[in-house]
Amino acid sequence: MNERDEIPWAELRRLAREATSRSYAPYSHVRVGAAALSDAGAIVVGSNVENASYGLTLCAECSLVSDLIRHGGGRLVALSVVAGDGEPIAPCGRCRQVLFEHGGAALVIDQGDGEPLTLADLLPRAFGPDDLPTRSTP
């Protein structure tokens, strides 16, 4: 994957919508699906997984990051997150931080009809791995 490659937004949105059908959301009934392209050319997906202890809920973006690591890692390049109605939603605050670790400021995020935003737009002046004095090998 390099910068001249086209981002397959339609495919990412389709896979994110499909992932909403594999969500576990018996409490909020808000089904969320996410799909992203990595710099290795892999497409990774995630769905939200709720918990009876509500605060332990895993957002779709967290599941997606697990899928990224399971696929051998790499950097997230482009991301689509949709709710059950198929429309894009903005990642929650916690997920913005989780995504920053694996995509950084340049990660591009689907906005539906609007121009995609970067994670820098959604999480300006982020705290990240470079702010730590030492960093162990992933």
* Residues that are catalytic: 61
DSSP H or E stretch at residue 19: helix 9-20
Scan residues 56-75 and list those touching ligand THU (CB under 6 A).
Answer: 57, 59-61
Angle separating helix axes 60-70 and 93-103, nearest 10 degrees: 20
Which residues partner with 34 through β-bridges? 46, 81
CA 7 to chain centre: 15
CA 10 to chain centre: 16
Taking CB under 6 A as the criterion, the residue among 1, 7, 25, 126 binding ligand THU is 25
Contact window for ligand THU (CB under 6 A) among 12-20, 24-32, 101-109, 123-131: 24-32
Contact window for ligand THU (CB under 6 A) among 2-10, 22-30, 104-112, 128-136: 22-30
Q: Is 95 in the site for ligand THU (CB under 6 A)?
A: yes
Q: Is 28 in the site for ligand THU (CB under 6 A)?
A: yes
Q: Is 91 in the site for ligand THU (CB under 6 A)?
A: yes
Structure-block tokens of residue 79: 């991301």
Instruction: Enumerate residues 6+ apart whose C-beta is below 8 A from 137.
Output: none
Question: In the complex, which residues of this chain contact ligand THU (CB under 6 A)?
Answer: 25, 28, 30, 32, 48, 50, 57, 59-61, 91-92, 95
